[in-house]
Structure 1
Amino acid sequence: MTRKNITRLSIFFDLILLIIFTVIFYFNTTVASEKNIFIPKGSIASIITHLSNNGYDVNRFDRFFLRFIGRPQSGFIDIGNNYLSKIDFLYALTKSKAALRDVTLIPGETMYFFNLLLSENFDLKVEDLQKAFEKYASYQDGVIFADTYKLPMGASADFLMQYLVERSMERHRQLAIKVLGIYDQKQWFRYVSIASIIQKEAANIEEMPIVSAVIYNRIKKGMPLQMDGSLNYGKYSHTKVSAQRIRQDMSEFNTYKNKGIPKNPVGSVSIDAIKAAINPARVDYLFFVKNKNGTHSFSRTYTEHQKNIK
């Protein structure tokens, strides 16, 4: 082998070593990151662009590497550390599991207390959550279905509310079509408003159609509903209704002063309450009062109602 060829071979190996050391150095550079990262749906190229636009030290070269090791899943993922080497960061993008937390909206609860729960679990401001809810929801309450939701850690108030409202509104639409054969939002949320009062008043699922019948019977006779549950709206969800409160409350939810159904639901509802609102029992009761068993005694006349009270 000539000296010239030896020189060329030496240069070639030097270049190979240089490339190897450069790659090793590159993949060992530190990437600063949030522990929970949002990965949008789309191509690897669009994911890299999204990360780059949000302050992550990634570039076109990284997308080629990702093609070999795997595709990141969309949504929020938990990569575990704030500082990782470039190669560990890219690997974590493809292997990390979703960062989710369960949160439950119980039937009858109001958005006021659900926002407090979300604020506590996701380290968000109540004011931001309420503002986001008002941005996406058409009604003050009752929009989000009573259910348990798996929500991503690290998400913004706007993201969480958009997700909760859009998912719930689709469930409202599907349920309306299933039960009524058509979805008319105004008509449907009148049922939801009735259901929200039923949810507050009924002692159990069996009572729901009967309470529903009382509501419809009183409306038919032009009587105010006079139901305490309607006054358990917003921050008053767990507050006992007093005579003073009935006199002073000037909201639409005061069914002692206002006839008919409030435009906005009082709180969250279950499917059972909605079904009861749509299909009331065939009874002619006008009154009910809680009895010693924790359920309600129903009556047709005020005289009978007075006896039940005693």
Structure 2
Amino acid sequence: MADPYQALGVAKGASEKEIKSAYRKLAKELHPDRNKDNPKATERFSDVTKAYDLLLDKDKRAQFDRGEIDADGNPAGFGFAGGQGGAYSRGAGGQQFDFGNSGTDFGDIFEGLFGGGGRSSNPFGSRQRSAPPPKGANVSYRLKVEFIAAATLEKQRITLEDGKTIDLSLPKGVEEGTQMRLGGKGRQGPGGNGDAIVTIHINSHPFYERDGDNVTLELPISLKEAVEGAKIKVPTVDGPVMLSIPAGSDSGKTLRLKNKGFHKKTSGRGDQLVTLMITLPKDNEKLSEFVKDWDNDDNPRADMGV
């Protein structure tokens, strides 16, 4: 190599940024992986790499500019037999490259140089690692889960594209739109199977509703139960339980059943909130007669200003 500045096509006073830019452009054009049938390009690639190595080393560049070393980094006026502990690699066409003792880091130059494809363990194509073969496509599934099953984390069976079935354990904190990834249950590919992506849809319930981790329920009670109080059976997502209705309960009063809601993401469960709703019997003559003669001055709407 005669002159490193000429090899890279830069001026003698070029900045480090200009040197890197020139080398990146030439390296992309001349890299052996792109010129396997062009030994001249490979030879020139070796020259521009050596030039880049020298000019990016401030001490060597200063020595070259003062005439103390030649373009190969050897003392001016002396031959060089090679082999001072450097590492060598052979590129396309058998061309030998020396990249051993320079200390230059080529990572910033060759990263992404060829569009993010396979990256060499050194910049000359030796021991190059190609990109791994792609995995197969992911497959999306939509799984409908009953409200109670979601609250109690009941296992769900799903049939995959290949006809196989899997029993899924629902995650704590499951909610509408929760996604579960089943590794390796997608379509086949040269690099292995893709994944199955399962999106959870929770069906509505005839009388339960969800409020965060809690389950809400409007519970019908009779007038007698509201006035006198009672112990009644109440449905929950875990099965019926007994609930004490305090005497004199109004419609809208809410009672709490602890740990009868959805499983939380961390630990524990939400509660079931039971709202009492007094229902009156239809066409009950005794009730009609009772209220007809009942003189009650209380105004239940007084707090509303009417």
Q: TM-score range by the shorter chain?
A: under 0.3
TM-score, length basis structure 1: 0.28
TM-score, length basis structure 2: 0.28
Query: In proportion to residue count, which structure has more helix?
Result: 1
Structure whose CA Rg is larger: 2
Greater RCO, CA 8 A, separation 6+: 1
Query: In proportion to residue count, which structure has more strand?
Result: 2
